[in-house]
Amino acid sequence: MNTRTAPLPPNRPAAASAATTITTTTDQSYAPYAEALVAHSGRDWLRLNVPGHAAAPGSALTDRFGARVTALDFPPLLDGLDVGPDNPLEQALALAARAWGARRTWFLTNGASQGNQIASMVAPALGRTLVVQRSVHSSVVDGLVLSGLDAVFVQPSVDPEQGIAHGVTAGDVAQALRRAPDAAAVYVVSPSYFGAVADVRAIADAAHAAGVPLIVDEAWGSHFGFHPALPAGALALGADLVTSSTHKLAGSLTQSAMLHLADGPFADRLEPLVDRCFRLVQSTSASALLTASLDLARRALVSGADRITGSVAAADAVRGAVRARGRFGLVCDRFHRFPDVTAADPLRIAVDTRAGGITGHEARQSLSRDHRIMVEVSTDSALVAVFGAGSAPDTERFVDALHRLPSPLTGSDGPSREPLSLPRPGAARLTAREAFLSPSRVVPAAAAVGLISADTLAAYPPGIPNVLPGEVITAETVAFLRRTAAAPGGHVRGAVDPAVSRLRVVAS
């Protein structure tokens, strides 16, 4: 095995000491788990174990997807893959920790949502209240239900014209910490779904000054720090625990992610807690394919500077073309108006479609139906396209299709065509856990106004909760959710029914 030292990515500190890493492998061009998996699948196995397809030829899976998929689909706890000293999985984890500048890294096979749940479950050992950005992903709220923590919410800045939330400032975090003497941790999101990057360094300083760790949901920034054109990663800026949705822009398979622990002042306390909580929520049948894809994504990021340069250039070309043609706007061109936004992810293209006479939902539907182009998400006012780190999409096809979209909003003054404003959250009456576990009843949406929600309700994607369990349901929020559900492709995560005609409330 080659154990030469490879250079670290930009802005990456060295990994932790050997006390937390059982392998000496430092060659980032090596993908130990993925390579061991391929070698294992190439042997002549008679498979009398799970999974039940047994990699047998002629099965429904092999007929549709080919024999390669099932041949690589092994269960955990196999010699030569993840059992024994210095096994390939441990080597892959150590290489990932070094690549991201972490003391320790965990591979997740239930997405960054699993990482957010783990981080929330760890926090009660440090205090009773989580100081948390209100516009976190719904999986963080799920974590509050699991942990039973109280929460002090920090309100993000909101772009009223776009109806989207950005981030929080260090000053707002410090003020919230003063209201929470029993704080366990600070929990923020950076970057946002629309590519807005927060001042993680300043927020980390505010958290540490109060004696608590900073947890960052960096689901959309797993590629950060691997190229000079990209923002620095949260670990390099002082974060203590970071959720990384590696499948989003870093190239691993859907549902694979990582959780990174910094080698900072809280590491000794957090490491055993994170490890135990990881075992609570990680599947005992973790997918070998997902795990291997994380190993390969790490290698591609570390070695892929030239490919990332091409991706950034392609995204810049799209932004330049949109500005030059003048019909649409770019959401990032408004970021300078908000004090909490310090940078933008260059691989995210958020287009203000209403400026061009069409809602984001209608634009997304037309791009898919008429041009066979998929974008990441749409809102009432915008759509978001993402370029994976290292990908080289057909930018001319996207720009041309975008500017061939109809403009049904031109001259329209009907109430259904008015921009959809982001509703303000209702007052919190119970903790998320108290409300979730309380006796509940389902009522018509109009009758739910003024009552306490038993569910998390989030326009999805991006999955930022508009209603939390324990919050009072407002008429403004009901109208927002019902309009979201009625839009083309609209979906409200957690709703009792697709139309949001009924809501689950805490029984009085």
Where do the structural domains in the chain lie, given as residue ranges? 71-303, 306-417, 432-506
Assigned superfamily of 432-506 = Orn/Lys/Arg decarboxylase, C-terminal domain (3.90.100.10)
Closest of 225, 218, 174 to residue 192, by C-alpha: 218
The CATH class of the 71-303 domain is alpha beta
Distance of CA 223 to the CA centre of its chain: 12
Contact (Cβ atoms closer than 8 angstroms) between residue 128 and residue 149: yes
CA distance 376 to 313: 19
Does the pLDDT at position 17 exceed 60? no
Averaged pLDDT score across all residues of the chain: 91
pLDDT digits (tens, 9 = 90+) for 474-505: 999 999 999 889 887 788 999 999 999 999 99
Instruction: Return the structure tokens found at 104.
Output: 């320790």
Does the pLDDT at position 20 exceed 60? no
User: Bridge-partner residues for 351, per DSSP?
Assistant: 330, 383
pLDDT digits (tens, 9 = 90+) for 359-375: 999 999 999 999 999 99
152 secondary structure, DSSP code: E
Mean pLDDT comparison of 43-57, 425-439, 478-492, highest-scoring range: 425-439
CA distance 290 to 296: 10
The residue length of the chain stands at 508
Same fold: 306-417 with 432-506: no
Q: What fold characterizes domain 306-417?
A: Aspartate Aminotransferase, domain 1 (3.90.1150)
- Higher-pLDDT residue of 136, 6: 136
CA distance 402 to 388: 19
How would you class 62 by CB atoms within 10 Å of its CB: exposed for 0-12, middle for 13-18, buried for 19 or more?
middle
Does the pLDDT at position 440 exceed 50? yes
Q: What is the CA radius of gyration of the chain?
A: 23
DSSP 265-279: TTHHHHHHHHHHHHH
pLDDT at 173: 98
Does the pLDDT at position 419 exceed 90? no
pLDDT digits (tens, 9 = 90+) for 126-175: 999 999 999 999 999 999 999 999 999 999 999 988 889 999 999 999 99
The torsion angles phi and psi of 244, rounded to 5 degrees, stand at -125, 110
CA distance 426 to 160: 18
* Residue range 273-292: mean pLDDT, rounded: 95
pLDDT digits (tens, 9 = 90+) for 305-335: 999 999 999 999 999 999 999 999 999 999 9
What is the CA angle 228-231-237, rounded to 5?
Answer: 115
Contact (Cβ atoms closer than 8 angstroms) between residue 488 and residue 480: no
Contact (Cβ atoms closer than 8 angstroms) between residue 226 and residue 11: no
CA distance 84 to 77: 9
pLDDT at 21: 40
Does the pLDDT at position 427 exceed 90? yes
